[in-house]
């Protein structure tokens, strides 16, 4: 049996070629925009596939009888693959963690600094012919609150400390050697001048930052989300932005991507938005692809 990379982008090909090494299994690379057509036919004869963005519902999984392993390029496989149906069909889904910790953390800090200094807002105004100096927030000495001290959170903590910030973090599970001082969630929310959400989305964290928890934050807080949109009560966050309780939100993730035209954040001036691009650097992509190949080797693809 063989392996196919089901949905490789054109611009990913040079990176894919760069990470290959002697002894790697042969992988057929399919380059087709969007969701590839006739996936069952493409997967026929392959027991393993590498997947970047294709969707596998229960019906599609049931029509791929040769498939035994899916190597998903990232951590959020449940957004693209019906995991229960995969298990029912004897298909193991592999994910890749930690490949972009530094890259996502850099994007998190970039959004925090942009929000603190009004970079996006001034850029829009200067382009529109307006010249108005916006007063910013000096981050040195301020409290950086981190909700979720996993790989990305640890990197955010390291970078925040490098900026002279007082880092305070909360994590759902105990940590033996935390990268920053830990505190109860309520204290992190109440003390943070800049609050960064870097926790994973799962059944336990969906809707975790409720309206009540968001209201615990201090007036004038900057909120940065490079995790997942559905961890947050976004209607409550939008209301707090309109009220001025939240000074600015910087958001890289949406419940619907791209966001719908009536998404409330699109109409707010005190919001900076990016297109779920926190993980997108050549370095992170190459690490991810190399780990995908290692997984294929380990399952005998």
Which residues carry out catalysis?
228, 257, 276
| Cα three-residue angle 270-274-275, rounded to 5 degrees | 145
| Cα three-residue angle 79-10-200, rounded to 5 degrees | 25
Can the peptide bond before residue 293 be classed as cis, meaning omega within 30 degrees of 0?
A: no
The dihedrals phi and psi of 251, each to the nearest 5 degrees, come to -130, 130
Instruction: Establish how many alpha carbons lie within 13 A of residue 162's alpha carbon, considering only the half-sphere containing its beta carbon.
Output: 9
Residues in the chain: 301
Pick from 214, 207, 165, 220: nearest CA to 185? 214
Say which residue the tokens 């007036």 belong to: 219
* Integer angstrom CA distances of residue 145 from 58, 77, 159, 181, 220: 40, 28, 13, 10, 14
The DSSP annotation for 241-274 comes to HHHTSEEEEEE---SSSSPPTT-GGGG-TTEEE-
């Amino acid at each position: 049996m063989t392996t196919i990379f089901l949905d490789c982008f054109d611009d990913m090909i040079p990176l894919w070629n760069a990470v290959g090494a002697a002894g790697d299994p042969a992988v057929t690379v399919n380059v087709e925009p969007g969701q590839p057509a006739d996936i069952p036919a493409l997967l026929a004869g392959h027991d393993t596939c590498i997947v970047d963005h294709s969707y596998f519902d229960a019906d599609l999984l049931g029509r791929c009888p040769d498939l035994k392993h899916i190597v998903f390029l990232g951590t959020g496989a449940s957004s693209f693959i019906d995991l229960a149906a995969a298990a029912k069909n004897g298909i193991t889904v592999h994910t890749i963690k930690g490949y972009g910790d530094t890259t996502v953390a850099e994007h998190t800090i970039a959004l925090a600094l942009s929000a603190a200094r009004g970079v996006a807002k001034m850029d829009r105004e200067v382009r529109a012919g307006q010249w108005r100096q916006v007063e910013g927030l000096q981050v040195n000495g301020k409290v950086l609150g981190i909700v979720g001290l996993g790989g990305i959170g640890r990197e955010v903590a390291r970078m925040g400390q490098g900026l002279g910030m007082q880092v305070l973090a909360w994590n759902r599970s105990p940590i033996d050697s935390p990268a920053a001082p830990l505190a109860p969630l309520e204290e992190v929310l109440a003390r943070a001048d800049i609050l960064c959400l870097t926790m994973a989305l799962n059944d336990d964290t969906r809707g975790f930052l409720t309206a009540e928890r968001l209201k615990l934050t201090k007036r004038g807080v900057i909120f940065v989300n490079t995790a997942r949109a559905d961890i947050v009560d976004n209607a409550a966050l939008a209301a707090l932005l309109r009220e001025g309780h939240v000074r600015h939100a910087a958001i890289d993730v949406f419940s619907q991507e791209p966001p719908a035209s009536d998404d409330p954040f699109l109409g707010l001036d005190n919001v900076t938005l990016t297109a779920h691009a926190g993980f997108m650097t050549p370095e992170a992509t190459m690490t991810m692809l190399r780990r995908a190949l290692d997984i294929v080797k380990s399952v005998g693809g």
